[in-house]
Structure 1
């Protein structure tokens, strides 16, 4: 792996926020809760965004939503991603965050590709309707007051229905403080290779606010490389940090010109895994629930390391921190496996047809009763 020295990256300014390191943690459902954000922050620096929150649930103040938007006192910049398909509801949700001092930054989700969201006209399907997209961004900016509002989106629905350049222009004109582009369409899901050239085209189009690039940031070196190749002002990291919270430390080092990188042996990975389980137990206020949640992280943390199937299976069934302690003590301190622990994380999937509302692609504007039929999808959805 190359560890060439690069010139330190400039600070990233997003509205009133200044990031010493131009790195943002992408919202990921069931992943970027307070526990994971705290863990990543212990290794590096940047802006750490919450899980995706539905605007309607926030307006209705559902108990789970109010718990998810709560931040630990150590989180000095509180960043919340909202998803909505109705401008008045988004406005009310952002007003709550602003008026009650619950956030320092609001991100709007227009990138989620999962069917339960796109079939409702939300996520990556929504920017196709230019009037609806503009209404939502303008409403969020109006409700935010001095809080910076950013937009996260994909290239479009599929190669024949690209939306990112139009959406970028609209977001800029509507007062967004930055736009972030995942270099894939909704139909690509997470398959193939992210199209960084689209990020470069967006950067050429948007001139007054920062443009952030998302997609295939797997190592510390990838961050500066994306910025060199695209002209982006910062990078957004999603799947690359799964089981590798120290990626934020590697990116911070790379952006400051340092060759230092985290190459943890198995014992250090086990420590991080255990720390994650501890933070999850605190977040859920339940050791059993926290340990249940850490189970899905097992394959990501120990990717490439010599951990036998018996211990992997046992880790995927833990229900207490004592069980975690007993199992990680048996792992040993095998050295860092280089390439085996690096590269793509999570399921890439394969291209698929995007599920959309009826007649959605007939026009770039809402038609007939489409607005009335829009409802928020919910559930285990990604930030895009």
Structure 2
């Protein structure tokens, strides 16, 4: 069933207006310049780059400096997400982005990642483990806000480490006190990873707790899910991650939904094939044809989900190495209606719950302000 609402208000982050109030969630290996460009061609909003490690940025790691480059057309709304565990390093990384403009343009928005549940991050005290150390968390947010000047800084986090170690309410209050422009909450704990169902009631609770805008994240598979989240929680906007995998036109649906329109997109296979080729072409332009097509392979199964495609063609598409080869394979697949049975179904990672890997003694003292020893990662992404 398609839902509608009156035109939703824009999201205001300092001087940055986001209309509609829709944000592309950073996803490692996914939200590169090509994918951000593709999504932006379908709808408006804010499109955040892959998570950037502050230590690697400060040390001017070549791969990281390339990852942080703004794509053509992003000058007015280039958005960067940073990961870091040391206030001084985070502050220096923000200075590089804002003052030195190492991305080629001054970012319009900076987000801080305190939501990543990946073991290689949490076992070092980073990501969704870090808000447990509330003084350290506050120091990092303060350092970023002070270094950013008039560039709005936001925070993304999860409900907590697990059900016994809930952090989001403290994180929201601290982020607000330290000058964050907004906070995004994913409605799962770190130990849930991407399993089960996101609990949006925590988003509603955070809306009641803080006066800064709260953005909701988790299980937004269709535009109507976003409308329902706004209605149920009172959140100021939504952050979309896995729901757009293989479906960048979702941002067009979201733009329509937030404008009060019932229009939703159900592309035929021929139309999906055009989007696939456009995506691969953008990747090839950025990375070279061989590397770009290789990078595109991870997207094939998401685009083809629910379509009738022979298994040998699927295998060939998953090993594609050139744009002409891709076009030939796609041309050989008969046109067909969009498989409505996949609408509203989860996409991407669905890993089962597992205990969160943490540094030894991490839970002992919530007010320890010291960065975890050896926690800085030397590579971007994650």
Q: Is structure 2 residue 52 aligned with structure 1 residue 48?
A: no
Give, in whole Å, the separation in 2 of the partners of 1:378 and 1:335.
46
Q: Please state how far the C-alpha of 1:342 moved relative to its aligned partner.
A: 4.2
Segments of 4+ in structure 1 off by > 4 A?
378-382
Q: 2:266 maps to what in 1?
A: 263
TM-score, with structure 1 as normaliser: 0.96
Q: 1:160 maps to what in 2?
A: 164
Give, in whole Å, the separation in 2 of the partners of 1:12 and 1:235.
10
| SS at structure 2 position matched to 1:365 | coil
| SS at structure 2 position matched to 1:91 | helix
| SS at structure 2 position matched to 1:151 | strand
Q: 2:368 maps to what in 1?
A: 366
Maintained 8 Å contact 1:30/1:380: no
Q: 2:32 maps to what in 1?
A: 33
Give, in whole Å, the separation in 1 of the partners of 2:378 and 2:51.
9
Q: Is structure 2 residue 208 aligned with structure 1 residue 204?
A: yes
Q: 2:256 maps to what in 1?
A: 253
Q: Is structure 2 residue 119 aligned with structure 1 residue 83?
A: no
Q: 1:187 maps to what in 2?
A: 191
Give, in whole Å, the separation in 1 of the partners of 2:374 and 2:150.
29
Q: 1:236 maps to what in 2?
A: 239
Maintained 8 Å contact 1:84/1:376: yes
Maintained 8 Å contact 2:286/2:292: yes
The partner residue of 1:281 within 284, 303, 317 is 284
Q: 1:72 maps to what in 2?
A: 71
Q: 2:126 maps to what in 1?
A: 122
CA shift digits 1:122-165 (9 cap, x unpaired): 00000000111011000000000110000000001000000000
TM-score, with structure 2 as normaliser: 0.96
CA shift digits 1:254-310 (9 cap, x unpaired): 1111111110111111111111100111121x1000000010111101101111211
Q: Please state how far the C-alpha of 1:63 moved relative to its aligned partner.
A: 1.1
Give, in whole Å, the separation in 1 of the partners of 2:65 and 2:349.
29
Q: 1:347 maps to what in 2?
A: 349
CA shift digits 1:217-240 (9 cap, x unpaired): 000111111001000000000000
Q: Tell me, which stretches of 5 or more residues in structure 1 are unaligned?
A: none
Q: CA RMSD in A?
A: 1.3
Give, in whole Å, the separation in 1 of the partners of 2:222 and 2:381.
25
Give, in whole Å, the separation in 2 of the partners of 1:364 and 1:348.
30
Maintained 8 Å contact 2:309/2:333: yes
* 1:289–1:57 distance in 2 versus 1, CA, 3 Å: same
Give, in whole Å, the separation in 1 of the partners of 2:335 and 2:65.
41
Give, in whole Å, the separation in 2 of the partners of 1:174 and 1:3.
40
* 1:87–1:279 distance in 2 versus 1, CA, 3 Å: same
